[in-house]
């Protein structure tokens, strides 16, 4: 063999090396550029610029059709855009290049399922399960796809495989129960659920499914037995108790309905709104009003709701409202007070509480609440009215008038309240000696209600005190007595008008009756009697009654002078 000169050998060898190095370098540069381009595409994708990202990934595939990652990203983009045709094309490319990448296959499956391609979905799931037999989630997807496509026999086989892996999974057992029913195999369906319950006797969900199955097949005794078995494990189970309550309600068995409602209502997991719906549907107020036993049950149930949900404003409100309707004002007030303490200052509840206080004669609480409510609800008339009464009692007449005027301003839709406000304003303006306004309001009341005895009396008394329009006063006073003939104040007013008219003997008779019918001693009444006795010439007896009036207090400004001089003085 001819020897090659060493120099030529070296040139040849190193020439090849240089050529290989260039190739490797070119390939490295190409890969680096491709990787950089791919990362750039991801950056645009993450920033929400999908169009630029698509352009970059398509460009990568044009130069390297085996770039599975670029194909996968394109599939994801088209999938997000609901372009299932392009999405499946690129997902299939990615999975074809790298079939052992689970995420590529999973994306293919998601696309087929979203596109509604059941056959492709089922075929792919079977392929995935073959490749990754330990992925239980794929078995679940396979089962779902088979059920959705109504391939119940195949689905049953998959369910059995899943149950063998997790025998305590109630969802799988219930699913098997339903699939067997779809296949018309009711005996095996019932047996499947019953066997499962025998191993898990306190499984609420399975027992409920079986009880519903029995109800559907008119096997009520078996259904009730299943529900009672649930309650044996948890006596407050809401669904079992409410189902039983509804069942017995339909059967007209009131005591059983009440028994199971009580249990359900004692469960804090049942929302207040659900309990309220049951009360409205099973205990309509119009029925309970005429049925003492139904009424007792209703009141008991709402109190259970309030006790079970002590921090829930709706629970306290419901209980307060029912007790209020039942005129149990003392109990209703407790729940309305709790409601307000929870920060719920809703007007209707506040109004109801004011009326509770009014009926309970809790004047201090009433006026305190009304004064606050009149500021919180400035356009509601009732708080102004009660606040006005509070100021009236405190003899703060200016504030009382201001509140009563607001009652009149906002209370046009409440005629009874308007009458009361007009009457109060008549009295109040009289106290500040604005008699024109006082009589204007008295006249308004009489126009609305000509038989308002109290206003007729007060109007007549004011005229008598001022010694004017006495004939008018006499007529009004007499009319008030015709309405309430033994009212002590009305008798006193009529006697006082007669006194002003100089009819002293007649006056004595009426004021004597006033004293006899009055439950307690009254300074003004004794002083009036003394005045009439004096005018009737019985001065010694007159002095005796003036002294009686003084011992009680709150007589007229002339009372002491009458006692000192023994003579009558007129203001």
- What string of H, E and C letters represents the secondary structure of 374-410? HHHCCCCHHHHHHHHHHHHHCCCHHHHHHHHHHHHHH
Task: Look at residue 521 in the predicted model and tell me its pLDDT.
Answer: 87
- Min mean pLDDT across 56-65, 141-150, 458-467, 528-537 is at 141-150
Task: Look at residue 30 in the predicted model and tell me its pLDDT.
Answer: 58
pLDDT of 493 higher than 50: yes
What is the spatial distance between Cα 471 and Cα 141, in angstroms, rounded to a whole number? 99
pLDDT class of 509 with cuts at 50, 70, 90: very high
Task: Look at residue 29 in the predicted model and tell me its pLDDT.
Answer: 54
Which pTM was predicted? 0.69
Averaged pLDDT, 537-542: 93
What is the spatial distance between Cα 483 and Cα 469, in angstroms, rounded to a whole number? 22
What is the spatial distance between Cα 189 and Cα 195, in angstroms, rounded to a whole number? 10
Residue with tokens 């004293």: 515
Task: Look at residue 291 in the predicted model and tell me its pLDDT.
Answer: 82
Averaged pLDDT, 372-382: 96
pLDDT of 22 higher than 80: no
Task: Look at residue 571 in the predicted model and tell me its pLDDT.
Answer: 62
What percent of the chain is helix, strand and coil (3-state, nearest 5)?
Answer: 80, 0, 20
pLDDT of 2 higher than 80: no
pLDDT of 176 higher than 60: yes
Averaged pLDDT, 219-228: 94
Task: Look at residue 18 in the predicted model and tell me its pLDDT.
Answer: 39
Averaged pLDDT, 347-353: 96
Q: Residue 116 — left, alpha, or beta (φ > 0 → left; ψ -120 to 50 → alpha)?
A: left
- Min mean pLDDT across 145-154, 473-482, 505-514 is at 145-154
Angle between helix 347-359 and 363-376 (nearest 10): 160
pLDDT of 169 higher than 80: yes
Contact 530, 536 (CB under 8 A): no
What is the spatial distance between Cα 470 and Cα 434, in angstroms, rounded to a whole number? 19
What is the spatial distance between Cα 555 and Cα 146, in angstroms, rounded to a whole number? 99
Q: What is the pLDDT of residues 393-419, one digit of tens each?
A: 999 999 999 999 999 999 999 999 999
pLDDT class of 532 with cuts at 50, 70, 90: very high
Averaged pLDDT, 168-178: 92
Q: Residue 123 — left, alpha, or beta (φ > 0 → left; ψ -120 to 50 → alpha)?
A: alpha
Averaged pLDDT, 563-568: 91
Q: What is the pLDDT of residues 309-335, one digit of tens each?
A: 999 999 999 999 999 988 999 999 999
Nearest Cα to Cα of residue 324 among 291, 302, 305, 307: 302
Averaged pLDDT, 285-306: 84
pLDDT class of 143 with cuts at 50, 70, 90: confident
pLDDT of 262 higher than 90: yes
Q: What is the pLDDT of residues 116-130, one digit of tens each?
A: 888 888 889 888 888
Look over the chain and give the mean of its residue pLDDT values, rounded to a whole number. Answer: 90
Task: Look at residue 129 in the predicted model and tell me its pLDDT.
Answer: 86
Q: What is the pLDDT of residues 26-54, one digit of tens each?
A: 545 557 888 888 999 899 999 999 999 99
């Amino acid at each position: 063999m001819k020897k090659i000169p060493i120099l030529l050998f070296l040139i040849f060898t190193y020439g090849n090396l240089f050529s290989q190095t260039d190739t490797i370098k070119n390939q490295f540069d190409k890969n680096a550029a491709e990787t950089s381009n791919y990362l750039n595409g991801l950056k645009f994708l993450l920033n929400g610029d999908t169009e630029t990202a698509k352009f970059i990934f398509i460009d990568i595939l044009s130069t390297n059709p085996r770039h599975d990652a670029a194909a996968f990203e394109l599939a994801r983009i088209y999938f997000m855009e609901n372009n299932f045709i392009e999405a499946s094309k690129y997902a299939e490319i990615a999975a074809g290049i790298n079939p052992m990448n689970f995420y590529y296959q999973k994306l293919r499956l998601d696309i087929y399922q979203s596109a509604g391609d059941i056959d492709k979905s089922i075929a792919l799931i079977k392929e995935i399960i073959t490749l990754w037999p330990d992925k239980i989630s794929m078995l679940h997807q396979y089962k779902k796809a088979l059920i959705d496509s109504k391939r119940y026999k195949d689905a049953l086989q998959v369910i059995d495989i899943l149950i063998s892996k997790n025998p305590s999974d109630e969802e799988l057992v219930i699913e098997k129960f339903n699939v067997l029913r779809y296949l018309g195999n009711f005996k095996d369906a019932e047996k499947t659920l019953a066997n499962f319950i025998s191993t898990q006797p306190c499984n609420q969900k399975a027992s409920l499914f079986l009880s519903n199955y029995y109800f559907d097949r008119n096997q009520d005794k078996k259904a009730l037995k299943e529900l009672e078995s649930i309650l044996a494990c948890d006596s407050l189970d809401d669904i079992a108790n409410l189902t039983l309550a509804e069942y017995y309600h339909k059967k007209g068995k009131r005591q059983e309905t009440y028994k199971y409602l009580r249990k359900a209502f004692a469960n804090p997991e049942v929302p207040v709104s659900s309990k309220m719906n049951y009360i409205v549907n099973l205990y309509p107020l119009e029925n309970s009003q005429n049925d003492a036993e139904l009424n007792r049950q209703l009141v008991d149930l709402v109190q259970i709701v309030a006790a079970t949900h002590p921090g829930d404003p709706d629970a306290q409100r419901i209980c307060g409202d029912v007790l209020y309707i039942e005129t149990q004002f003392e109990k209703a007030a407790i729940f309305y007070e709790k409601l307000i303490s929870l920060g719920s200052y809703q007007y209707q509840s506040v109004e109801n509480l004011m009326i509770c206080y009014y009926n309970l004669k809790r004047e201090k609480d009433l006026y305190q609440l009304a004064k606050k409510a009149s500021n919180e609800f400035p356009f509601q008339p009732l708080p102004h009215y009660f606040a006005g009464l509070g100021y009236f009692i405190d003899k703060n007449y200016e504030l009382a008038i201001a509140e009563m005027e607001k009652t009149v301003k906002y209370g046009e839709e409440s005629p009874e309240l308007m009458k009361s406000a007009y009457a109060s304003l008549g009295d109040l303006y009289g106290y500040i000696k604005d008699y024109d306004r006082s009589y204007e309001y008295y006249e308004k009341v009489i126009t609305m209600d000509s038989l308002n005895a109290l206003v007729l009396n007060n109007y007549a008394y004011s005229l008598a005190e001022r010694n004017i329009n006495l004939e008018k006063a006499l007529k009004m006073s007499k009319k008030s007595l015709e309405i309430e003939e033994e009212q002590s104040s009305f008798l006193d007013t009529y006697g006082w008008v007669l006194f002003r008219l100089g009819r002293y003997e007649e006056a004595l008779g009426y004021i004597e009756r006033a004293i006899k019918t009055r439950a307690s001693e009254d300074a003004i009444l004794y002083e009036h009697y003394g005045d009439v006795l004096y005018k009737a010439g019985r001065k010694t007896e007159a002095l005796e009654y003036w002294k009686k009036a003084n011992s009680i207090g709150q007589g007229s400004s002339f009372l002491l002078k009458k006692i000192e001089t023994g003579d009558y003085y007129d203001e």
